[in-house]
Amino acid sequence: MPWPSEKTRDNEVFGLIDKERERQVTGLQLIASENFTSPDVMEATGSVLTNKYAEGYPQKRYYGGNAVVDEIEALAIERVKKLFGADHANVQPHSGASANMAVYLGLIKPGDTVLGLSLDHGGHLTHGSPVNASGILYNFHSFRVNDTDERIDFDQVRELAIKHKPKLIVAGTTSYPRRLEPQPFRAIADEVGALMMFDIAHIAGLVAGGVHPNPVPYADVVTFTTHKTLRGPRGGCILTTSAHAAAIDKAVFPGSQGGPLEHAVAAKAVAFHEAMQPEFALYAQQIIKNASALAEALSQQGFRLVSGGTDTHMMVVDLRPFDAELTGKEAQLVLDEAGITLNKNNIPNDPRSPFVTSGVRIGVPSVTTQGMREAEMPLIAEYIATTLRKRNDPAAVAEVRGKVAALCAKFPVYPKRA
Ligand SMILES: Cc1ncc(COP(=O)(O)O)c(C=O)c1O
């Protein structure tokens, strides 16, 4: 069959892709787990590597024709090991969830006890939620953040570890705005004879850029997604000590995946290369500055920041002091109309359900990638506050939409296409 011609091209899908591109670049993208990836990363993602089957690992493949693919995957492995100082890397996980499930498969047995952060206090579904395979297959117990300072309480983690004697302790978060030191987790894991996994999905770019402690020297296994602060393609990665290398590789393939997505692996290699450049460290530093400026500006607008602020790329905002009636669900919907994209989020001890919530989560990786700095953060806070205050006034929301588009036009993400 010949390739589609101008006449038979799938204009429906390509039209929708253009529409989504327009949405992304004309609005404020404030979802903490998203970023704009580089044109080079996208080129690798859309390359001929998508045509290739490469089950196995470099030099140990089940199919022929993998000499070049071997070089690409080996490059990705070498780069990510160097970037984080790891003994061993597996770059094949299709996503963060696949990476985490592979670690459980490789290191523990179904029914084994594990400790992780509760979902409603900032943990991830794959850290033992009862609706996720992690919580169905393994005996997870959850720790929570402190009622007083809304930070992880290591005394509680230790007490639970002593009580439940987990085989594995999972550190890492999905909506927690504070630095997370790896040493206390290591000390507790050692005290009870547990293994320690640190899921740095959100903060991988901050770790690579030197603005968050690197857990690799302390953890038995580190997992992450490549598409958040690290600014790579959608995908996952696992770093391990040599002691667990064989078990982890076996758990990824053949344990839980088939053929690797070598186009994604190539794009990961490109992203690791980009993250090794000195400019990436500046980018990570700017993320921290922007998040802190936005948190300050939001509190001046009357919002309460969970834990009082942020030292990462994200903040969790308690909407109740701003407006007791306003839910996270409603805020997300009306902000979307104003071109401000973020997500509703439970705050610790939230009286509302996860579908409604009393909070929103806000992240600055995308706006920082497009070049916004501290000066733009009060504007963003003002646009959020105005939209929420005037949420029943469509003309006022439309006016903010115009201001958002004008601000974004000053910070073009991708070169205009000819
Ligand atoms: C801490 C953490 N782990 C794992 C994941 C899962 O990643 P993915 O969506 O790629 O499966 C996420 C995604 O948000 C996350 O925040």
d(CA 315, CA 348): 13
Q: Characterise 346 by phi-psi region: left (phi > 0), alpha (psi -120 to 50), beta (else).
A: beta
Q: Indicate the top mutation candidate among 91, 124, 198, 226 to test ligand 1's pocket, ranked by most ligand atoms within 8 A of CB.
A: 124
Instruction: Say what the alpha-carbon torsion angle 203, 305, 346, 339 is, to the nearest 10 degrees.
Output: -80
The per-residue pLDDT for range 320-345, each reduced to its tens digit, is: 999 999 999 999 999 999 999 999 99
* Nearest CA owner, ligand 1 atom 9: 96
Atom of ligand 1 nearest to the CA of 235: 10
d(CA 269, CA 277): 13
The per-residue pLDDT for range 124-168, each reduced to its tens digit, is: 999 999 999 999 999 999 999 999 999 999 999 999 999 999 999
In sequence order, what are the residues at sequence separation of 6 or more whose Cβ sits closer than 8 angstroms to the Cβ of residue 290? 364, 367, 368, 372, 373, 374, 377
- The CA distances from residue 237 to 81, 98, 167, 414, in Å, are 11, 9, 22, 27
pLDDT score of 418 more than 70: no
- The CA distances from residue 293 to 16, 44, 145, 286, 414, in Å, are 35, 34, 24, 10, 25
As given in the structure block, the two tokens for residue 69 are 């693919």
- Mean pLDDT of the region 372-395: 98
pLDDT score of 68 more than 70: yes
The per-residue pLDDT for range 8-22, each reduced to its tens digit, is: 999 999 999 999 999
* DSSP code of residue 320: T
Phi, psi dihedrals of residue 103, rounded to the nearest 5°: -65, -45
Active site residues: 53, 55, 199, 225, 228, 234
β-bridge pairing 195-199 and 221-225: parallel
Predicted pLDDT at 415: 80
Kindly indicate the confidence band of residue 1, based on its pLDDT and cuts at 50, 70 and 90. Answer: confident
Ligand 1 binding pocket includes 180 (Cβ within 6 Å): no
As given in the structure block, the two tokens for residue 148 are 């007083």
- Mean pLDDT of the region 187-201: 98
Predicted pLDDT at 416: 74
Atom of ligand 1 nearest to the CA of 199: 1
Kindly indicate the confidence band of residue 417, based on its pLDDT and cuts at 50, 70 and 90. Answer: low
Where are the chain's structural domains? 42-275, 279-409
As given in the structure block, the two tokens for residue 131 are 């609706």
- Mean pLDDT of the region 36-64: 98
* Nearest CA owner, ligand 1 atom 8: 96
Of 162, 180, 410, 214, the closest CA to residue 312 belongs to 180
Q: Indicate the top mutation candidate among 118, 174, 234, 345 to test ligand 1's pocket, ranked by most ligand atoms within 8 A of CB.
A: 174
Query: Under CATH, to which class is 42-275 assigned?
Result: alpha beta
CATH assignment of 279-409, among 3.40.47.10, 3.90.79.10, 3.90.1150.10, 3.40.50.460: 3.90.1150.10
Long-range contacts of 186-189 (CB under 8 A, 24+ apart): 186/218, 186/219, 188/154, 188/157, 188/158, 188/161, 189/161
Of 106, 104, 102, the closest CA to residue 116 belongs to 104
- Mean pLDDT of the region 216-239: 98
Q: 């990665």: which residue's tokens?
A: 237
pLDDT score of 360 more than 60: yes
